[in-house]
């Protein structure tokens, strides 16, 4: 399996003086420098639909890359986890040797909402969308769909608002050590449950931040990775799963992670008990809780108890998550947070996370991202990464 040899998270959270192309290229060059490579070593390029112009064609022309392979994918927040899996497949198929994956967004600078209706990055108001006639009349938005999902979980399993709040508390305890985090102030359970209601039962502090920024990773075949003077982070397993409404016969509290995780575990030859650190897509606190259940870290319905009392805080609980502060506190560029989740997992495996949150003996990490919306349609992507 190929290796992640370079990783870089752009430090800006409000990039008013940067173009999308500049954010993309600055991240790309920094990730290559981290790997000890140059742009001339890149022969495969991967990006999502947020790249300006004609996507990979515009960026690769701007960088003057000499490529054998390009790929672009749009599954919203999970796009870049799927692209990492695509890079693995391309390298193993001999289509490229060094794959560069970049992401950048600037919704804050552009004053664009991430979810909702008109003007949003994630749109639900296109009359050509096949589900438009059924969903648009009810004013569907990301917030109210996730609120509905959280309410359903509470109804089925007795999950409480206080239990969900512990997820935000853990993220904030990690973010206070991250100088680039958008929100660095720690919060308490009481702070979360007393913050303004957004979509019952989710409150303001149950929701992620909206930031500019981005990042890049470099994936290389084994022989190249082992020739570089960098810690070896192997992509040991991958899994993907689109999940939709199945004609109405589906359960909104179950995500595609139940299947993408199973595929990744099987390919890697590991189980949830082997994982030392998790990077999970955290658009809302309920998103994290459902992923933890579906990825097998606890039984279905037991997520509320699992996350309580600081169990996700590094050095305190059983399983550290999102030690950079995640999308809840650190960085959520343009509703596509899968790449920055991968970058923090690489930091953990290299031993390069902040000392206050570094997981001891971290040799196996899991990344999972949900793209689209729980409760309607989404795609889950899972990576299992190993330090050699």
Per-position DSSP letters for 62-123, written without gaps between them: HHT---SEEEE---GGGHHHHHHHHHHHHHHTTS-SEEEEEEEE-HHHHT--SSSSTT-SS-
- SS3 for 130? coil
Residues 207/198, Cβ–Cβ less than 8 Å: yes
Band of the pLDDT at 123, cuts 50, 70, 90?
A: low
| pLDDT of 125 | 63
Q: Give per-residue pLDDT as tens, 290-309.
A: 999 999 999 999 999 999 99
Band of the pLDDT at 276, cuts 50, 70, 90?
A: very high
Tell me how many domains the chain contains.
Answer: 1
What percent helix, strand, coil does the chain show, rounded to 5? 40, 20, 40
Q: Is the pLDDT of residue 110 over 90?
A: no
| Strands of the chain, DSSP E | 3-9, 44-47, 69-72, 98-105, 197-199, 202-203, 213-220, 233-243, 277-280, 320-321, 364-372, 378-387
| Distance between CA atoms of residues 182 and 192, nearest Å | 17
Q: Which residue's structure tokens are 């954010």?
A: 23
Q: Is the pLDDT of residue 318 over 60?
A: yes
Band of the pLDDT at 140, cuts 50, 70, 90?
A: confident
Q: Is the pLDDT of residue 255 over 90?
A: yes
| pLDDT of 14 | 92
Domain contains 168: no
Q: What's 83's domain CATH number? A: 3.40.47.10
Domain contains 144: no
Query: In the predicted model, what is the mean pLDDT of the chain?
Result: 93
Q: Is the pLDDT of residue 133 over 80?
A: no
Domain contains 89: yes
Which is more confident, 17 or 358?
A: 358
Q: What is the mean pLDDT of residues 209-221?
A: 95
Which is more confident, 124 or 243?
A: 243
Which is more confident, 117 or 169?
A: 169
User: With the CA atoms of 102, 108, 110 and 115 taken in that order, what torsion angle do they form, in degrees rounded to the nearest 10?
Assistant: 90
| pLDDT of 122 | 53
Q: Which residue's structure tokens are 């509320």?
A: 304
Domain contains 133: no
| Distance between CA atoms of residues 343 and 61, nearest Å | 25
328: region left, alpha or beta (phi > 0 left; psi from -120 to 50 alpha): alpha
317: region left, alpha or beta (phi > 0 left; psi from -120 to 50 alpha): beta
Q: Is the pLDDT of residue 77 over 50?
A: yes
| pLDDT of 141 | 81
| Distance between CA atoms of residues 219 and 101, nearest Å | 8
pTM of the model: 0.94
- SS3 for 194? coil
Domain contains 198: no
Domain contains 36: yes
Residues 184/330, Cβ–Cβ less than 8 Å: no
Domain contains 368: yes
Q: Rg (Cα) of the chain, in Å, rounded?
A: 19
pLDDT-wise least confident of 74-88, 114-128, 180-194, 265-279: 114-128
- What's the domain range around 72? 3-110+213-387
Q: Is the pLDDT of residue 118 over 50?
A: no
Domain contains 79: yes
Q: Is the pLDDT of residue 115 over 60?
A: no
């Amino acid at each position: 399996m190929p290796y992640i040899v370079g990783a870089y998270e752009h430090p800006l959270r409000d990039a008013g003086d940067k173009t999308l192309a500049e954010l993309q290229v600055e991240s790309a060059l920094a990730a290559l420098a981290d790997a000890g490579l140059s742009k001339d070593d890149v022969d495969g390029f991967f990006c999502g639909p947020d790249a300006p112009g004609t996507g990979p064609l515009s960026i690769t022309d701007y960088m003057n890359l000499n490529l054998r392979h390009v790929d672009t994918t749009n599954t919203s927040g999970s796009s870049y986890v799927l692209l990492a899996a695509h890079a693995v497949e391309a390298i193993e198929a001999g289509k490229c040797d060094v794959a560069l994956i970049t992401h950048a967004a600037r919704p804050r600078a552009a004053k664009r909402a991430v979810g909702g209706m008109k003007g949003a990055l994630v749109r639900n108001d296109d009359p050509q969308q096949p589900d438009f006639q059924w969903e648009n009349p009810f004013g569907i938005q990301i917030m109210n769909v996730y609120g509905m999902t959280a309410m359903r979980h509470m109804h089925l399993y007795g999950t409480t608002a206080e239990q969900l709040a512990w997820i935000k508390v853990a993220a904030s305890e990690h973010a206070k050590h991250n100088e680039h985090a958008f929100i660095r102030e720690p919060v308490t359970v009481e702070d979360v449950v007393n913050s303004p209601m957004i979509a019952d039962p989710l409150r303001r502090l149950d929701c992620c931040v909206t930031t500019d920024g981005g990042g890049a990773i470099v994936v290389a075949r084994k022989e190249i990775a082992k020739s570089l003077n960098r810690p070896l982070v192997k992509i040991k397993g991958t899994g993907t799963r689109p999940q939709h409404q199945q004609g109405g016969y589906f359960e909104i509290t179950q995500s595609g992670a139940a299947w993408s995780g199973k595929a990744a575990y099987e390919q890697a030859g590991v189980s949830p008990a082997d994982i030392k650190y998790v990077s999970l897509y955290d658009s809302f606190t309920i998103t994290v809780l459902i992923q933890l259940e579906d990825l097998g870290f606890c039984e279905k319905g037991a997520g509320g108890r699992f996350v309580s009392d600081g169990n996700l805080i590094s050095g305190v609980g059983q399983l550290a998550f999102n030690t950079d502060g995640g999308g809840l506190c650190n960085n959520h560029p343009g509703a596509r947070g899968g790449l920055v989740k991968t970058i923090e997992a690489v930091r953990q495996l290299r031993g390069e996370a902040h000392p206050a949150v570094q997981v001891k003996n971290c040799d196996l990490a899991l990344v999972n991202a949900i793209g689209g919306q729980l409760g309607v349609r989404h795609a889950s992507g899972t990576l299992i990464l190993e330090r050699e």
